[in-house]
Amino acid sequence: MVRKKIVVACGSGVATSKSVAERVKDLCKQRKIDVVTEAVDFRSVKSHLKDADLFISIAPYDSTDYGVPVVSGIPFMTGIGMDKAMDEIEKILKK
């Protein structure tokens, strides 16, 4: 399978998005999904999504069409609903 690119964005692109990006990368590895993750801030997110397969947003829901599937990053911060979110990510990336 081809390596998939996941972009993770939060307000600053530092602590939260990097933490979520690492967690998602580890969980994908456990599920044998080859990914590269990139932590960015919201101001620059659109430029990073050009070649992305998935966008994980760490923000309240917004209805912006980013041109790629969007999954909430909140479950990866709280641990609540993380398995369901990973199932969604796996389904998207294995298409």
DSSP string, the chain: -PPEEEEEEESSSSHHHHHHHHHHHHHHHHTT--EEEEEEEGGGHHHHSTT-SEEEE-SS------SS-EEESHHHHH-TTHHHHHHHHHHHHT-
Q: Which amino acid is at 73?
A: G
Residue with tokens 């923000």: 59
Q: What is the pTM of this model?
A: 0.92
pLDDT tens string 24-81 = 999 999 999 999 999 999 889 999 999 999 999 998 767 788 899 999 999 999 999 9
Cα distance between residue 17 and residue 59, in whole Å: 10
